[in-house]
Amino acid sequence: MKWLVPKSLAGQMVALLMLALVAGHVAAIAIFADERREAVRQATRDQVVSRTAAVVKTLAATPAPLRPIIARSLSSDILTVTLHEADPGLPEPASRHERRLAARLADPLAVDDADIRIAFRDPWRPFWRRGPWQERRGGHRHDRWFDDDDDDDDYKGGDVDRYPSLYRSLGLRIAVKIPETPWIETVPGVAFPRPPWAAQSLIAVALTAVAIVIAVIFIVRRVTRPLGELAHAADSVGRGETVDDVAEAGPRDVRDTIRAFNLMRARQQRFIEDRTNLLAAVSHDLRTPITALRIRAEFIEDEELRGKVLEMLDEMQTITEATLLFAREEAQKEENRPTDVAALIESLAGDFEDMGRDVSLTTPDRLVLDCRPIALKRALRNLMENAVNYGERARIEMTVTEDGVSITIDDDGPGIPEDQLERIFEPFVRIETSRSRETGGIGMGLAITRSIVHGHGGDIEAVNRDGGGLRVTVTLPIAGSA
């Protein structure tokens, strides 16, 4: 069911508000319908009491032989009138509601010795009308005449079958005995309507839902638009691109977040520039003393000592030049542009094949990414050179994953000790067991490669293969691909 849940902030807010709106309206309509039903039932009971009083008065003034005929004439679908010579067995008013009905009935009768019996039952009550506060009499509900476990069968069989809708509609039966008249029983026949789901209520719910959706869309767009720009800027910074400050817009919390991001980006940029400039300045300034030392070394008479000094100066010169190159790579502002990375790797592999190196390649026909092609080409060339120089051959494979692009370069070399796999990407680090100094280089190639990969928002990892050799995996984010 996860596919039913909206993924965006706007969709989730609209869905939650709509659920809350529907639930709230359903509860409100149910409560209002119950209140309306209860009001109608109360008004109908009052009418039944008034009509019963009129019936009793009429039958009391009617001669005894005519009373059954008049009773049948007074009966209708609204009120059924029945005469009983014996006590019908209804209980005396016990609950407050029953006593109130009896008082209303006794007042218009104006008979002191009138015997009034009332059986009242609420056939359905919602949960907010239930509880231990329900009135009981003698350990049993006062509506026991309607309970299935009642031992009194006088009104369980025939009368329930006789008046099923009457008992379950209003839940009221009245029996009155005044002097010189039989028991007069009345049963209302007003069927209470079901809770109304009026068209007006549905229209109100629909209009409210539309108004809320419009308001939520406006508010969410006001929040998500600057957040979207912030996310795009953060993604660009993560890929090493130069971006301008994000415009501060939206609510205060969003503006504060954007302002903090702009300050962080500016501080990070200044830190990188200061570090790069310092590194470049130090490396540049070392050239002069190295040159001076080289001139003075030429005047050393001891040839063996002069050779060792010049060799050390050459190494210092190489380190200085490599450091300057690394600083230039860090400071270089190459712009990102759509590039067919598959074609770029194919051209590199073709160059190595032209030099007689063993290179195999597996790539898609076309894969365009937004990247800095010159820097990326240099990073991949460094990895391929290491594979063919130290591992005899390079097997390159590029695949597209859910998160981006994966480029693996395998060789058949001796591999690298496990505790040194992470250190090979640090500047000036060389693993002597697998990288001899005579082969050239001072350990800056992989450091520059990792810097370039990280500048594209990617990652690089080296592991030893089970069958021997080293595997270097470069992952690049596919975001921003053309």
What is the per-residue pLDDT across 22-38, written as a single tens digit (0 to 9) for each?
A: 888 778 877 777 777 77
pLDDT: is 440 or 352 the higher one?
352
Residue 55 is encoded by which pair of tokens? 């019936």
154-205 pLDDT, tens per residue? 333 334 444 444 444 567 888 888 888 899 888 887 555 555 556 677 777 7
Tokens standing for residue 338: 């759509």
Residue 322 makes CB contacts below 8 A (sequence gap 6+) with: 442, 444
What CATH fold (topology level) applies to the domain 335-477? Answer: Heat Shock Protein 90 (3.30.565)
The sign one gets for the Cα dihedral 144, 150, 152, 157 is positive
In this structure, are residues 184 and 111 in contact, taking their beta carbons and an 8 Å threshold? no
Report the chain's mean pLDDT, rounded to a whole number: 76
434: exposed, middle or buried (C-beta count within 10 Å: 0-12, 13-18, 19+)?
A: middle
Picking from 280, 237, 240, the residue whose alpha carbon sits closest to that of residue 450 is 240
DSSP 64: G
DSSP class of residue 398? Answer: E
Interval 425-476: pLDDT, tens: 877 666 654 444 444 455 677 888 888 888 788 889 999 988 788 999 999 8
For the segment 204-221, the average pLDDT, to the nearest whole number, is 80
Alpha carbons 239 and 305: distance in angstroms, whole number: 49
DSSP code of residue 219: H
- Structural domain spans, the chain: 2-188, 199-285, 335-477
Distance of alpha carbon 463 from alpha carbon 469, whole angstroms: 9
| Look-up of token digits 């490669």 | 449
How buried is 439 (Cβ within 10 angstroms: 0-12 exposed, 13-18 middle, 19+ buried)? Answer: exposed
Q: Which of 48-57, 105-114, 137-146, 377-386 has the lowest mean pLDDT?
A: 137-146
Amino acid letter for position 146: F
Each residue's pLDDT tens digit, 293-334: 888 888 888 888 888 888 888 877 777 777 666 666 655 567
- Strongest mean pLDDT among 98-102, 282-286, 349-353: 349-353
Look up residue 68 and give its two tokens: 């059954």
> Residue 366: which of 384, 346, 349 has the closest Cα?
346
- For residues 473 and 460, the answer to whether their CB atoms sit within 8 Å is yes
Question: What confidence score (pLDDT) does residue 471 get?
Answer: 92
What is the structure's pLDDT at 408? 93
Q: What is the pLDDT of residue 396?
A: 92
Please determine, for residue 137, whether its predicted confidence score (pLDDT) is greater than 60.
no
Q: Which residues lie across from 338 on neighbouring strands?
A: 370
Q: What is the mean pLDDT of residues 395-418?
A: 88
Higher pLDDT, 139 or 245: 245
Residue 230: closest CA among 246, 241, 215? 246
- Looking at residue 455, its pLDDT comes to 79
